[in-house]
């Protein structure tokens, strides 16, 4: 994961975590994931925006493709 557009009023960091799924077909299975953490600058209140991107392998009909994903986060600091 990588910050594609940095927030103007804070910092973004990432943390690797794992946990067991609680529901669905895979309930009880342990999975890994990445938390996206935002920390506003001291004293800042208001809206902040940033984008995080990552690439992933995608398999369709027996062929592999690489998919680029970018997610936009809009944060309101109170």
CA dihedral of 73, 34, 43, 75, whole degrees rounded to 10: 20
pTM for this one?
0.80
**Domain count for the chain:** 1
Alpha carbon distance 42, 14 (integer Å) = 20
pLDDT in tens, 54-68: 998 888 888 888 999
| Tokens, residue 1 | 């994961």
CA distance 4 to 51: 5
Domain that holds residue 71: 2-77
Q: What is the pLDDT of residues 10-19, one digit of tens each?
A: 999 999 999 9
């Amino acid at each position: 994961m990588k910050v594609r557009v940095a927030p103007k009023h804070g910092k973004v960091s990432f943390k690797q975590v794992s946990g067991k799924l609680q529901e669905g077909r895979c309930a009880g299975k342990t999975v890994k994931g990445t938390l996206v953490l935002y920390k506003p600058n001291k004293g800042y209140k208001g809206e902040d925006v940033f984008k995080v991107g990552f690439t992933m392998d995608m398999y369709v009909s027996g062929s592999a493709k690489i998919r680029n994903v970018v997610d936009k986060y809009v944060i309101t600091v109170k």
